[in-house]
A and B are shown apart, each in its own frame.
Chain A
């Protein structure tokens, strides 16, 4: 659907009977990555999105450990310990790729040169606050990596996550209870049950999967436009 169709729709459409698998969700996100854009895919689930970006789309992947034009995961003899992604998984080059040091890599990010980054999340507030680096539980070892730099750096920060935690509570919340990664930084949240646009006025549902808008409003404790 085009943005105009979304704008004209009376309410967000339900696009499938069942919630999406994480692979299906990756495909939905890939659909929304603009042609020719520079994109950073966070460690974990977001890396799946790369599998759904056809080469002809010309999307160039950035990895914060110093590369543009990162290719797929390396197999067998392709494995080179000197060439990994941000999750330390060996990957391959693509034609036209480039290497640079860490300060340049993060200057690229912080300087607003990346078009999109997709991050996982523990919680997202309906105003775009992100919590994805620490559960805040005592005894947990804090580890932030590049998450805070990415959150404030890319032009568009998308989140990819399951909508509900294991205890059934929605991870899209009024205000994050876990330690923040960034304030007001997330513009869109892709989940297995629905896609949300976030802004200063709160969350707007774009589409739902395996749940009606009415059911979604019952299970998510924030106002949904």
Chain B
């Protein structure tokens, strides 16, 4: 496969994302949210997107801005409703966006399965709850499990802390969250990073996402936001 492209701008990094794509978007709340890639995606204009993310946007930055721009058809996430998710809340109540709620661990593991070539897996989460209605179940060694299928992305937009020029990534603190899993689960993985260092400068023992999973990297000025009203 082609080697990782180190691009100059976020606009170049998101070029070619087609209407109707499934896009995995990193971040937990605003930690690890790829703000610059999302802003570039809004400028790029792709619409009718299916977004896979933990939340459905906070305030009016990042994912919330993409929703507000009317580009998203459906969101798969674990926790849409938050103190500052008013953009999503309004779209949802107006029937303008589709929602599929997935337990957080299943969201992560289903993407891990996609990236790891697993066809499906039996998972004990959510047995006996409304979220497993219609899903195949099996009892294994006396415990009940539900069959869960992979979630694969056409694109992953993630934020990491540092990349080398090969595309190896390291993350920072809990901003790591879904990034490493999403990087494996998409056909094209696009990472925004705060630093790009010469190849050989990252400690190989500390690389979290090996370059094989990363297609495009762009260095951006780090922007940080915290969720307002979190408690």
A residues near B (Cβ < 8 Å) are 63-67, 79-84, 87-90, 93, 99-103, 105-107, 109-110, 129, 134, 139, 141-149, 152-153, 179-183
**Interfacial residues of chain B within 145-202, with CB under 8 A of chain A in the complex:** 171-181
B135 within 8 Å of A by Cβ? Answer: no
Q: How far is the CA of A105 from the CA of B11 in the complex (A)?
A: 33
B20 within 8 Å of A by Cβ? Answer: no
B81 within 8 Å of A by Cβ? Answer: yes
B residues near A (Cβ < 8 Å) are 28-32, 54, 58, 78-82, 89, 92-93, 99, 101-109, 111-112, 123-131, 171-181, 208, 224-227, 230-231
27 A-B pairs whose Cβ atoms sit less than 8 Å apart in the complex: A81-B224, A81-B226, A82-B32, A83-B175, A87-B231, A88-B28, A88-B31, A88-B82, A88-B227, A88-B230, A89-B230, A101-B178, A101-B208, A102-B104, A139-B93, A141-B89, A142-B99, A143-B101, A144-B79, A144-B131, A145-B78, A145-B79, A148-B126, A149-B105, A149-B125, A181-B129, A183-B129
Q: How far is the CA of A143 from the CA of B81 in the complex (A)?
A: 6
Residues from chain A with Cβ under 8 Å of B82 in the complex: 88, 143
Known: A88-B227, A89-B231. A143 touches B78 (CB 8 A): yes
The 4 closest A-B pairs by CB, nearest first: A106-B105, A149-B105, A81-B224, A183-B128
Contacting pair A65 B177 (CB below 8 A):
yes
Known: A88-B230, A148-B131. A82 touches B105 (CB 8 A): no
Which residue of the partner chain, among B79, B108, B125, B131, contacts A152 with CB atoms under 8 Å?
A: B125
Q: Which residue on A lies nearest to B143, using beta carbons? A: A152
Contacting pair B226 A90 (CB below 8 A):
yes
Task: Tally inter-chain residue pairs, CB-CB below 8 A.
Answer: 160
Which residue of the partner chain, among B109, B128, B175, contacts A107 with CB atoms under 8 Å?
A: B109
Residues from chain B with Cβ under 8 Å of A110 in the complex: 105, 123-125
Q: How far is the CA of A110 from the CA of B130 in the complex (A)?
A: 19
Contacting pair B225 A81 (CB below 8 A):
yes
Q: Which residue on A lies nearest to B116, using beta carbons? A: A103
Which residue of the partner chain, among B78, B124, B174, B208, contacts A82 with CB atoms under 8 Å?
A: B174
Q: Which residue on A lies nearest to B84, using beta carbons? A: A88
Residues from chain A with Cβ under 8 Å of B172 in the complex: 82
Q: How far is the CA of A149 from the CA of B173 in the complex (A)?
A: 22
Contacting pair B28 A144 (CB below 8 A):
no
Residues from chain B with Cβ under 8 Å of A179 in the complex: 129-130
Contacting pair B104 A64 (CB below 8 A):
yes
Residues from chain A with Cβ under 8 Å of B174 in the complex: 63, 65-67, 82-84, 99
Contacting pair B104 A106 (CB below 8 A):
yes
Q: How far is the CA of A208 from the CA of B109 in the complex (A)?
A: 41
Residues from chain B with Cβ under 8 Å of A109 in the complex: 105
Contacting pair A84 B104 (CB below 8 A):
no
Contacting pair B226 A143 (CB below 8 A):
no
Contacting pair A152 B127 (CB below 8 A):
yes
Closest chain-A Cβ to B125's Cβ sits at a distance in Å of 5
Contacting pair B178 A102 (CB below 8 A):
yes
Q: How far is the CA of A153 from the CA of B125 in the complex (A)?
A: 8
Contacting pair B31 A82 (CB below 8 A):
yes
Q: How far is the CA of A130 from the CA of B173 in the complex (A)?
A: 32
Contacting pair A143 B130 (CB below 8 A):
no
